[in-house]
Amino acid sequence: MKDGFDHLKEWFFREDDVNESRYTIASVKGFIGDCIYKLRQQYGLSIEGLSEMTGFEEDYLDRLEEGDYDGEPDLDAFENIEKILRERLSDKESDPKGRQVLS
């Protein structure tokens, strides 16, 4: 079963020529932030809980979710969060509440 991480990777890493012109950096940041937020909520984690689990500062996670940071979209941070959530919550289903993360 695909979850939000899988959908984000498929969307972001598509090899079509229009990908760069179709989405702005701001919309990519927003999309990453929405994905992190939805997955965090689905697993019942607070910002504090996600911070403890991942080692990222709460303020940084909040800015990631809001898409409020300088520079390019932070895919490294996103992939680290993905890896940690998958490893630590692997005994749960990808979507514990049966909802699809992204449509």
**What is the amino acid identity at position 85?**
L
Burial of 75 (0-12, 13-18, 19+ CB in 10 A): middle
- What digits encode the pLDDT tens for the residues 68-92? 888 777 788 888 888 888 787 765 5
Which range, 4-8, 27-31, 58-62, 92-96, is most confident? Answer: 58-62
- Dist CA 29 CA 92 (whole Å): 27
List of residues 6+ apart from 15 with CB closer than 8 A: none
pLDDT at 23: 58
Predicted confidence band of residue 59 (pLDDT cuts 50, 70, 90)? very high
CATH H-level superfamily of 4-88: lambda repressor-like DNA-binding domains (1.10.260.40)
- Whether the full predicted model's pTM is greater than 0.75, yes or no, is no
| Residues 43, 85 contacting (CB under 8 angstroms) | yes
